[in-house]
Amino acid sequence: MAHTHHHDSDNEHALKATLLLTTGFLVAEVIGGVLADSLALLSDAAHMFTDTAALAIALAATRVARRAADARRTFGYHRFEILAAAFNAVLLIAAAAYILWEAWQRLQEPAAVEPGLMLWVAVAGLAVNLIGMRLLSGGKESNLNVKGAYLEVWSDMLGSLGVIAGALLIRFTGWAWVDSVVAVAIALWVLPRTGQLLRESLNVLLEGVPEGLDLGEIEQGLRGMEGVADVHDLHVWSIASGKASLSVHVVCTPMAQDGFALMHRVRELAAQRWGLHHATVQVEREPCEQAKEPHAYGPATDVHAGHVH
């Protein structure tokens, strides 16, 4: 538990520092984009704005998620982080859609762009993005909320590189339309990654099987245990990133004398083989009524450590 709190604290500090950086630079980039009349720079500023909003939401969600479980929220508030990740993905998609529309309008009538100012603002933005990515890199693999914030900053980093390339092209060729093309490229590059984040977030919210786990494999593994005659009402889901749970009804064989021992062996197997440390196991001598019902997906309402019928 102390290890988890340590990671949560690190994530909060990283989010806070990155939020301060992006907020400070956002104002400068908007001013630079308006003065340079650069859509590419303004598109990067739009992503920077979604970064600022997303980081603020992610930071708030991290703090809310630390609240202890209570009588109304028995699993705690960890799912706020997943809601924040999903919201961040929606913000990115909306920003990309706006940039695509605006780029289409500008391609009809390319505007004059000031490449020098566009270049220097983009270089400063690149530096801010790289610092933010470094700060968030430690928690992006274990926390969807931090991953969402990291993707926001990562997309801005790509945007800054695109703006730099566009500014250089405009400066040496005079092709003002390059500005709109760069903006479109940034939007199209970001969308697939954002879609993946949204899918992962929705999978958690819909209590789907966590990434990297196969429900069929888990069922076969349980059925292959000594003393197990049948398995039903098997569910695997997660409350938040890295917090996967399992619930299952196990029918023991007539030869199995100790149902509690079997229950503990099932829990040990779930933890050791699949990393499912929160397991609710119900051991039965005869299949219960739920075994006769059509399979329904979702976590069981039984919240005890385990039962033997």
Q: What is the pLDDT of residues 188-226, one digit of tens each?
A: 877 887 788 788 888 888 888 888 889 999 999 999 998
Residues 42 and 171 in one domain: yes
User: Tell me, what's the pLDDT at 305?
Assistant: 39
Domain extent for 43 = 2-205
Residues 114 and 164 in one domain: yes
User: Tell me, what's the pLDDT at 177?
Assistant: 80
Res 7 pLDDT > 80: no
Give CA–CA dist 187/183, Å, rounded: 6
Q: Which of 205, 238, 256 is the last residue of a domain?
A: 205
Res 267 pLDDT > 80: yes
- Cα 194 to its chain centre, rounded Å, is 9
**CATH, residue 231:** 3.30.70.1350
Residue 64, SS3? helix
Supply φ then ψ for residue 107, to 5 degrees.
-65, -25
Give CA–CA dist 79/71, Å, rounded: 16
Res 31 pLDDT > 60: yes
Residues 7 and 129 in one domain: yes
Residues 104 and 48 in one domain: yes
Please compute the mean of the pLDDT values over residues 17-29 and round it to a whole number.
Answer: 79
Give CA–CA dist 208/202, Å, rounded: 8
Give CA–CA dist 149/59, Å, rounded: 9
Is 210 a member of any domain?
Answer: no
**CATH, residue 121:** 1.20.1510.10
- Residues 150, 136 contacting (CB under 8 angstroms): yes
Chain length of the chain: 309
User: Tell me, what's the pLDDT at 249?
Assistant: 93
Residues 6+ apart with CB under 8 A from 1: none
Is 131 a member of any domain?
Answer: yes
Helices 39-65 and 2-36: angle between axes, nearest 10 degrees: 160
Q: Which two tokens stand for residue 123?
A: 């270089």
Q: Which of 149, 174, 205 is the last residue of a domain?
A: 205
Strand partners, 250: 231, 283
Structural domains in the chain (count): 2
Please compute the mean of the pLDDT values over residues 279-287 and round it to a whole number.
Answer: 87
Give the dihedral sign, CA 265/208/196/19. negative
Mean pLDDT of the chain: 77
